[in-house]
Chains A and B, each alone.
Chain A
Amino acid sequence: MLLEQNHITKEGEFVINMGPQHPATHGVLHLKVWLDGETIKKVEPHLGYIHRSIEKMCERLSYRQFIFTTSRMDYLSAHINNQACALVVEKALQLEVPPRAKAIRIIMAELTRLASHQLWWACMGLDLGAVTPFFYAFREREAINEIWEETCGARLTQNYIVPGGVMMDTHPNFRKRVKDVMKQIKDKAHEYEELLTGNVIFQERLKGVGYLSREDAISYGCTGPTARASGINSDIRKLFPYDGYEQIKFDEVLNSGGDCWARYLVRIEEMKQSVSIIEQLIDIIPEGDFQVKTKNVIKLPKGDFYQRVETARGELGVYIVSDGAASPYRCKFRSPNLSNLSAIPKIAEGAKIGDLVAIMATVDLVIPDIDR
């Protein structure tokens, strides 16, 4: 009976549980893995170890309050999550955000992307057995954290972007600090290349491992760098521009490789694009208001509103059903990580158990965003 339940049919096959307490799952993901020797036959994700009922909470929070819960969803893209919530409220109220706020928002969002990718790079090294990258990446990440701390008052969960603009004006040091950090990142880029990208052992572990075809990526709803590494144009900043991304020159990073190495290269290249976006904007932040006046109690008109943004991991959608009251009737967050996770059983099928760690690392999941 037990054998039948676990789909074990012949000798040498067994089931292992990876997680919920496992260093390579980046949180509390639980993967049930069916193995034939060392080869993966099937992977089944078990979730809910950090399901915090955010969607239920949102039904009782006002449109100013519900933003703070989203910082805790994908905490590595906290600014971008806040931006999505602010944008959906602005879309419903048809508010025009001042240009200064837009520019600050984009800079903050790109800093978030940089910091998130740096943390991914650090953990990527850790997962594959290299500790040094961790210290290199955290050097730059701390520098970005300091910018946030100065302007937003928090290091990680900022809640800086509010409906109508940003919460407060930037710190007087903001421009100088950002420029310094951009210079630092560009100066140190070669270290990243030398440590991991050019490392033969590292390349061997990624090249040809964990292939995801274009068709599968579409069918599994993959977004973000995971999808772009399979050659899908999925950058929301290009497809459905928001907050003035249409006026900025940047390339959508695409790679048709589809394997772990392609996903790695896409993220490395995206960091360079983010630096270029920030450099375009930092000297031309328009003067003026940083926030447009909104009513104390925001009430959205009746109807459905959907807003998507490109977080560091893919497309985050905020779907709000409003009945005209001061809090959402139903609030759904379309998580980029859930759909990327759903592709992992497909990617991992037939791979070796050791490669599962590499696959998990390159897909770059944040578990609280999956569970919400």
Chain B
Amino acid sequence: MTKEELKNNITELLPSTTFDETGEFLNVIIASDELLPFMKTLRSKSEFDFDYLFCLTCIDLNNHLMMVYHLISKTHNHCIVIKAKITDTIKPEIESVNSIWKTAELNEDEVYDLFGVKFLNHPNLRRLFLEEDWEGYPLRKNYVDENMIKL
């Protein structure tokens, strides 16, 4: 599907979404509580068939966190970017997509480790890179580390 067709089909599916077409891919911005059912449809509906999650990350935008999912379909060869906005930065929570794409497990662990986003229904949520007793979430913009030597 082209960008336009994707956009129309997604608007039909979820009228409340907003789009951003400035970049290379079609960016779909949704609220964090709509994520799981929306992702399930993207995976299961044959006209979308997004079977391959190739990049999962998070961005700290100071007043909110943004989860970013890059999806591609191996059958149709079209890409899409889903951005889920998490407004609560103190106790951020979002549904895990591990049940849809298995690759999400370690990637979500990484996001939990570095951003502190808690994934609900994740099979084994743990700090992936840092020690269990590490304080703070390093990739947050408000992270302070006294030992870090700044340039």
Direct A/B contact, Cβ within 8 angstroms = yes
A residues bordering B, Cβ < 8 Å? 44-45, 47-48, 51, 53, 55-56, 60, 91, 216, 218-221, 223, 232-233, 239, 303-306, 308, 315, 317, 319, 321, 329-330, 332, 334, 338-339, 341-342, 346, 371
Q: B128 near A47 (CB under 8 angstroms)?
A: yes
Take A219-B101, A219-B102, A321-B59 as given contacts and tell me if A371 and B53 are in contact as well, using a CB distance cutoff of 8 Å. no
Contact with A along B19-30 (1 / 0, CB 8 A): 000111101000
- Least distance between B29 CB and chain A CB atoms (Å): 12
Take A48-B130, A51-B130, A55-B139 as given contacts and tell me if A219 and B25 are in contact as well, using a CB distance cutoff of 8 Å. no
A220 to B103 CA separation, bound complex (whole angstroms): 4
- Least distance between B131 CB and chain A CB atoms (Å): 8
Q: A334 near B77 (CB under 8 angstroms)?
A: no
- Least distance between A328 CB and chain B CB atoms (Å): 11
A155 to B101 CA separation, bound complex (whole angstroms): 39
Besides A48-B129, A216-B102, 7 other A-B contacts (C-beta < 8 A): A47-B128, A55-B114, A219-B103, A221-B52, A232-B74, A330-B59, A330-B60
Q: A219 near B23 (CB under 8 angstroms)?
A: no
The residue that A306 contacts in the complex, of B24, B107, B127, with Cβ under 8 A, is B24
Consensus secondary structure, chain B interface:
loop
How many residues of B are counted as interface, with CB atoms below 8 angstroms from the partner's CB atoms? 36
Take A305-B23, A306-B70 as given contacts and tell me if A342 and B103 are in contact as well, using a CB distance cutoff of 8 Å. yes
Residues of A within 8 A of B124 (CB): 44
A-B contact pairs, 29 of them (CB 8 A): A44-B124, A47-B128, A47-B129, A53-B138, A55-B114, A218-B51, A219-B103, A220-B103, A221-B53, A221-B54, A221-B103, A223-B54, A239-B77, A303-B23, A304-B23, A305-B23, A305-B24, A306-B25, A315-B54, A317-B70, A321-B59, A330-B60, A332-B55, A334-B54, A334-B57, A334-B70, A339-B103, A339-B106, A346-B102
Tell me which of A60, A334, A346 has the highest count of chain B C-beta atoms within 10 A of its own C-beta: A334
- Least distance between B147 CB and chain A CB atoms (Å): 12
The residue that A338 contacts in the complex, of B27, B52, B68, B107, with Cβ under 8 A, is B107
- Least distance between A306 CB and chain B CB atoms (Å): 6
Q: A218 near B106 (CB under 8 angstroms)?
A: no
Q: B51 near A219 (CB under 8 angstroms)?
A: yes
Kindly identify, within residues 13 to 71 of chain B, every residue whose CB is under 8 Å from any CB belonging to chain A: 22-25, 27, 51-55, 57, 59-60, 68, 70
Take A304-B27, A317-B54, A334-B55 as given contacts and tell me if A341 and B106 are in contact as well, using a CB distance cutoff of 8 Å. yes
